Amino acid sequence: MTPEVTVGVLALQGDVREHMQRLRELSVTAVAVTSPQQLGDINGLVLPGGESTTMSILARREGFLDPLREYRSAGGPCFGSCAGLIMLADELIDGRPDQQTIGGLSISVRRNAFGRQVDSFETIVEMPALGPDPYPAVFIRAPWVETVAENVEILAINDKTGAIIAVRQESVLAVSFHPELTDDLRLHRYFVDIITEQM
């Protein structure tokens, strides 16, 4: 039996509602995390897509940066999509000069690597960790993963560019695209499985 899982969605900015909806479709309790105290009451945290520069400013202003870093260094499971991937990266290329990330994922990420808003696209990606069927992926001013440390597992590569677009390092999962904008629930389920393995 799956244990009761509560997943928080960092609600500073971005696709909060969409992630909560996907989690609820999996019968997981989803809560919008609007204050750092809530980080103590969740089993996993989603960092949504949106705009990482704005998220960084709001995280600092709302006193979230250190609590998020502590949550992560205590091994708290995280799932970042697009801007959320940027927030989790230890190293950021093409960020704003004062842009801060939470870190915790031993990768370098290039912001807006696939181009501008007009270069947004939808495609399918092979992701063997999710099974044999390809996964539909929506890319919106997406980052890519430029380098990974040895202990980071590469889950998917964009076949056109050869860029790394999905990674996992222990209990951290991060993707360049927006799983919250499709109705394929496999990536959210994969994250919930990461959480339950740890419980």
Extract the tokens encoding 187: 């990536």
Q: Which of 18, 19, 78, 82 is catalytic?
A: 82
* Cα gap 79→166, rounded to integer Å: 11
Cβ-based nearer residue to ligand GLN, 82 or 102: 82
Interacting residue with ligand GLN among 13, 43, 52, 169 (CB under 6 A): 52
* Cα gap 18→71, rounded to integer Å: 23
* Gyration radius of the chain over CA positions: 15
Instruction: Provide the minimum distance between the beta carbon of 89 and ligand GLN in the complex, in angstroms, as a whole number.
Output: 11
- 113 touches ligand GLN by CB under 6 A: no
- The interaxial angle of helices 16-25 and 186-198, nearest 10 deg, is 70
Query: Which of 133, 129, 106, 123 lies closest to 187 in space, CA to CA?
Result: 129
- 179 touches ligand GLN by CB under 6 A: no
Instruction: Provide the minimum distance between the beta carbon of 130 and ligand GLN in the complex, in angstroms, as a whole number.
Output: 21
Instruction: Provide the minimum distance between the beta carbon of 197 and ligand GLN in the complex, in angstroms, as a whole number.
Output: 27
Residues with catalytic roles: 82, 178, 180
Q: Which residues bind ligand GLN (CB under 6 A)?
A: 49-52, 82-83, 86, 111-112, 140-141
